[in-house]
Amino acid sequence: MPILGVILCGGQSSRMGSDKGLITSGGETWAQLTLDKLQGIPLRVVLSVRRSQCENYAALFFPDQMIVDDVASNIAGPLKGILTVHDRFPDMDLFVLACDLPKMERYVLEHLYTQYQNQHADVTLFLNNEQIEPLCAIYRAAGLARIKDDYLRQKLTRYSLHHVIEKLSKHLVPLNKDWQSCFQNFNSPDDLARPLT
pLDDT in tens, 49-79: 989 898 899 999 999 999 999 877 889 889 9
**Contact (Cβ atoms closer than 8 angstroms) between residue 126 and residue 173:** yes
Sign of CA dihedral 105, 108, 114, 120: negative
Which pLDDT does position 193 carry in this prediction? 58
Which pLDDT does position 76 carry in this prediction? 85
CATH of 3-193, one of 3.40.50.1970, 3.30.1360.120, 3.40.640.10, 3.90.550.10: 3.90.550.10
For residues 80, 83, 87 and 93, what is the CA-based torsion angle, rounded to 10 degrees?
A: 150
pLDDT for 15 beyond 80: no
Which pLDDT does position 34 carry in this prediction? 95
pLDDT for 16 beyond 70: no
Instruction: Tell me what percent of the residues of the chain surpass a pLDDT of 90.
Output: 72
In 3D space, the residue among 90, 77, 52, 60 whose CA is nearest the CA of residue 165 turns out to be 77
pLDDT digits (tens, 9 = 90+) for 86-120: 999 999 999 999 999 989 999 999 999 999 998 89
DSSP codes, 130-182: TEEEEEEEEE-HHHHHHHHHHHHTT------HHHHHHTS-EEEEEPPGGGGGG
**Other Cβ atoms within 10 Å of 115 Cβ, number:** 17
Which pLDDT does position 177 carry in this prediction? 93
Name beta bridge partners: 68: 49
Which pLDDT does position 73 carry in this prediction? 84
**Cα–Cα dist 70/86, whole Å:** 11
Q: 188 falls in which pLDDT band (50, 70, 90)?
A: low
Q: Which contiguous run of DSSP H or E holds residue 9? A: none
